[in-house]
Amino acid sequence: MTHTAQVPTSSQMTRQELLELPLTVSMETAARALGIGKSKAYGLLRSGEFPVRTLKLGSVVKVPTAALWEVLGVTPHP
C-alpha cells in the first residue's frame, strides 16, 4: 500500500505556518490560510460573509489568528 503525502502548494499554508502567525493577520494572509484569493476574501468581507471574525482598525481590517485557527480546526497543541 502506497501512502502519498499531500504537498502544499505555494498558496496553501502548512499547519506549522499557521501556528507561527502573529496575534492578528492581514486579510491577504487570512485569505491564503483559507485557500481563497484576496479578491474573494474582500468580496466576502463586503457582503458580511467572511467566515472569520475581523477587527476594523480605522481603514485597516485585521483577522485575529485565534479566530482563524478556530475556523480551520487548528489547535496550538497537538
pLDDT digits (tens, 9 = 90+) for 14-24: 999 999 999 99
Identify the burial level of 67 via C-beta atoms within 10 angstroms of its C-beta, where 0-12 means exposed, 13-18 middle and 19 or more buried. middle
**Cβ count within 10 A of residue 66:** 14
Q: Angle formed by the axes of helices 38-46 and 27-34, to 10°?
A: 110
Would you state the pLDDT for residue 9?
Answer: 45
Q: Enumerate the β-bridge partners of residue 25.
A: 63
Q: Does residue 51 contact residue 44 with C-beta atoms inside 8 Å?
A: yes
**How confident is the model over 28-53, as a mean pLDDT?**
97
pTM score: 0.81
Q: State what percent of residues in the chain have pLDDT above 70.
A: 85
Spatial separation of the C-alpha atoms in residues 3 and 11, rounded to whole Å: 23
- Percent share of the chain, pLDDT over 90: 81
